[in-house]
Structure 1
């Protein structure tokens, strides 16, 4: 279900993708629970899709849920947690909450520097996003 949703999203059928992402999330919550890695992937997928569709409030709720769960289950320095921190930071930047975005993007950057090193592609992407955020 999730893979078909991703395919529809890549083809531009955002409504079709949303229906499938919601179905996948519901099934994963019911069978795996709210904190399972696959459930968190579904939460993230739906959050990103809602962001792409312009539903920033709906996306924010999902990004916050995913981040909270990843902090609890994986810790603050896990790469999946850092990806969620970055996702929420990007969303807040899109919403115009530049202070909130900057705090999260800086957190992701510093953690990536510590865990991955200065020249890792994820660290460099964080540097780019943080400097972009500071210019707005």
Structure 2
């Protein structure tokens, strides 16, 4: 926990300096809020993580084009928080928005698309909608098999998720 508090302190100091030096909707501020959100997320402080991720997204919506990949990342992070607190409909909405942006902004076999598909699959899995979960997991698997080495942890994870969801069907 000590490293998280040090990281948080450093990110917050950095943010205070940025607030003085940069315009209020500068993308670097969004990145700092995102980093702070990630620390809170890893600490399990989901309400603080959500607040930081949402602030990051607010700035990005002003500072960046509407289909910028950073927006997709923020929606994905917000989806992760909602998934972890059991608010699955909100998680799905965030993951789906992330996927929409990534489909526009990224090449069809980009690994980030697979992250979106996998996240949606996980939420459907947790909701007991196994056929939908399987479909999304398989989309993630197709991309990761093409874009990552066969021994990559994401490839193994999605295979395990597919095997587990098939057992539940």
Asked if TM exceeds 0.5, the reply is yes
Question: What is the rounded CA distance, in whole Å, between the counterparts of 2:167 and 2:66 in structure 1?
Answer: 37
Distance in 2 between the 1:114 and 1:32 partners? 30
Deviation at 1:75, TM superposition (A): 3.1
Q: Which residue of 2 aligns with 1:105?
A: 137
Partner of 2:59: 27
**Which protein is bigger by CA-based radius of gyration?**
2
Query: Is the Cα–Cα contact under 8 Å of residues 60 and 70 in structure 2 kept in the other structure?
Result: yes
Bigger mean CA deviation after superposition, 47-56 or 69-78 = 69-78
Give me the CA root mean square deviation.
Answer: 1.4
- After superposition, what is the alpha-carbon deviation per residue over 1:26-63, rounded to whole angstroms, capped at 9, x for unaligned? 11111113311211111111110011111111110010
Normalised TM-score (structure 1): 0.91
Q: Which residue of 2 aligns with 1:116?
A: 148
* Unpaired runs of at least 5, structure 2: 1-32
Superposition deviation, residue 17 in structure 1: 1.4
- How far the C-alpha of 1:117 sits from its partner, in A, is 4.8
Shift of 1:87: 0.8
Structure 1: tracts of 5 or more residues without a match: none
Return closer, same or farther for 1:93/1:32 CA change in 2, 3 Å cut-off: same
- Partner of 2:109, secondary structure, is coil
